[in-house]
């Protein structure tokens, strides 16, 4: 039976390192594991009045449906100003609305990321901890992947080109998939 992981990138940029890392993850998923790439691009800013008047926006319903169908969630997070990108947090906030909160409870989640800086995404990954704890997700902490100096391991189209990083990603995914 195939395990399905919903993968979300927290960047909207076309040649994003993090979106490239997510594409590489989909290519390098271990046998018996499929990574479905979701998109946060069309998720509007959260507005309780909009939710009250119209319910959940279609892009949020799509993400909730993908999350409900997935065995696990992979968050591929950039680091903006030493923290979680607002657009990414906004998407997760929307996804938790309505019946969405229950979809996170007990769901295995792993967090990885890439950054042009020397510390990778250590701070943004840490900032996800209270969010995932509040959602009662099952955060996988046995592996860690923070790609630093991303400009040297991705090409100008955002494709992961570094064999060492690809091996680290493959090993990370193997460990995560074995945990659920």
How many structural domains comprise the chain?
1
Do residues 118 and 154 make contact, with C-beta atoms less than 8 angstroms apart?
Answer: no
* Cα distance between residue 159 and residue 4, in whole Å: 23
pLDDT tens sequence across 165-178: 999 999 999 999 99
Work out the pLDDT band at 111, boundaries 50, 70, 90: very high
CATH of the domain at 41: 3.40.50.360
Do residues 114 and 10 make contact, with C-beta atoms less than 8 angstroms apart?
Answer: no
What is the token pair recorded at 141?
């902490």
What is the token pair recorded at 117?
């800086």
Count of CA atoms in the C-beta half-sphere (13 A) of 166: 13
> What are the phi and psi torsion angles at 123 (to 5°)?
-75, -40
Domain that holds residue 31: 3-178
What's the pTM value of the predicted model, to 2 decimals?
Answer: 0.97
């Amino acid at each position: 039976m195939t395990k399905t992981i919903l993968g979300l990138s927290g960047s909207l940029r076309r040649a994003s390192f993090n979106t490239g890392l997510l594409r590489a993850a989909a290519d390098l998923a271990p046998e018996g594991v499929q990574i479905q790439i979701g998109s946060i691009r069309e998720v509007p800013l959260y507005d309780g009045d909009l939710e009250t008047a119209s319910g959940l926006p279609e892009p949020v319903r799509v993400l909730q449906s993908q999350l409900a169908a997935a065995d696990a969630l992979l968050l591929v997070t950039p680091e903006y100003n030493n923290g979680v990108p607002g657009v990414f947090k906004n998407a997760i906030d929307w996804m938790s609305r309505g019946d969405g909160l229950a979809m996170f409870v007990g769901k295995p989640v792993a967090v990885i990321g890439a950054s042009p800086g020397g510390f990778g995404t250590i701070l943004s990954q840490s900032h996800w901890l209270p969010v995932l704890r509040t959602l009662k997700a099952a955060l996988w902490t046995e592996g860690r992947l923070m790609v630093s100096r991303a400009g040297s391991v991705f090409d100008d189209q955002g494709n992961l080109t570094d064999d060492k990083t690809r091996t680290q990603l493959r090993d990370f995914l193997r460990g995560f998939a074995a945990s659920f």
